[in-house]
Each structure stands twice: as structure tokens, then as C-alpha cells.
Amino acid sequence: MEKEKQIWKITPVLTGSFGMVRDDIKYRNGKPENQGYVPSVMFLLETCGHLVVVDTGFGDPSVCAEKLQLSVKRSQSLEDIFKEASVKPKEVEAVIFTHLHWDHAGNAECFTNAQYYCHEKEWNRAENHPEEYPEEWFSWLKKNRDRVHLIQAESAQEIIPGIYIQYIGGHTYGSQMVIVNMEEGYGVITGDVVMTEKNLQEEIPVGLCVNGKECETVFEKIRAWKPVMIYPSHDFKIFDRR
């Protein structure tokens, strides 16, 4: 008899917003004159008293804004955001990064008892290219390297019962999507290889990428899981699903 799969609940948590983000970043051949704010999202996964987080949003808004010359906003403190979302950082057992960009890997230090997961290709790129992964939001992870688990395979891996990681590349050298077994079926957290619902509906690859061909194949890889829910990384519409 097949072992029963662990069932998880996915809750997107808004950690803030930033802009102005151009359409040519979100969409291949997008118009740079079209600009707007996008959300920075942390995903809370829950089952039977176990907590896992996928991506951790951006860190100190003022530091991010100064470094990147962007408008970076957080309407309330991170502590209040956690409290409102019933996120207890000390109880989070694992943190999974779709990739290590500033708006996905900030606040890692909040989860004092967690183990961390990212793809080996992403970690190596971050270590060797500080111009892409500045110390302001990567230093804590480097200092706590013993808690970081590097995924080497490019095929899907079940790292926690009911939670899978699959390398997709494209947006960064080590981007990966997270597949979660939900009550209704699989939910897919895409990371930045799919930023908006429009990317999905029209199968438009993202504009900001290091490998265009990998971005083109992501839609097929997502469909292979026959997901009941897909969570793009930077679309406010995902909060309507809660």
C-alpha cells in the first residue's frame, strides 16, 4: 500500500511591496514605461503542528531602498506581520528559498530553529558574485552555512514529506520551484520564474532572466504536476485565495 502523503496548507503572507517595477522585468518584450509596485511574499506551509516557510521577503526596507534605489514599503513591523499571520518564527522547522535575491532571502535570521534549503547552483553563484548578492542580505546565511542544505539534483526531490523541490533555473542560475501536497492536489510556488498571473495565462516568460530557454520550459514543468493552485511570486491577486 502506498504511504499516505502529508497534506499541507499554503498561506501567502505579504511582507511589503516595492517599485517601481517595469513590465520588461516581469514580461519578455514588456514595455519599460509601464511600471508599478509588486508584493514581496513569504509563503507559510502548515500541517499537524509543523511549520515551513518558502522565501522570507525583504529585510530592512531602508537598507534595501538605499542599496537598490527603489521605493521599498512595509506598512507595519515585521513582528506584527508575523503575529497577524500566526507565524511563530521559533517554531518554523525549515525555510526553503526559491532563490537568494534580496526580496526572497531577507529576514533569514528570524527563524532561529530552522534548517535552510536552496539549490547548490544558487548558493555558489551568491558566494562568488557579491555584485549580484550583496552582503547586506546574504551575510547571515554565509555565517550559518552549517544550517544550509544545498540541493544538487535537477529532478524533483521530496525534502520534507509532502514538499518537493524542482530545479528550474531561468530567472537565476539556481532558481527552483516548490511543489506542495495540498488537500485538493498539488500547489506550486514558482519563485520569480513566474512573477504574475499574466505570465501563466499567456505563457509569457519573465523578462529578468539569465537563461531564456529555461524560462520558456517552466510552463511545461509546472503543468507536469497537474497543479490545482499556482502561486506566482509578485502578483497581489494571490492574496485573494486565502
Predicted pLDDT at 16:
97
Distance CA 242, CA 236 (A): 12
- Residue 190 CA to its chain's centroid (Å): 7
Mean pLDDT (the chain, rounded):
94
Instruction: Set out the domains of the chain in order of their start, with CATH numbers.
Output: 9-241 (3.60.15.10)
User: H or E element: which one contains 171?
Assistant: none
pLDDT digits (tens, 9 = 90+) for 36-88: 999 999 999 999 989 999 999 999 999 999 989 899 999 999 999 999 998 89
Distance CA 158, CA 176 (A): 13
Task: Calculate what percentage of the chain has a pLDDT beyond 70.
Answer: 98
Asked whether the bond before 177 is cis by omega within 30 degrees of 0, the reply is no
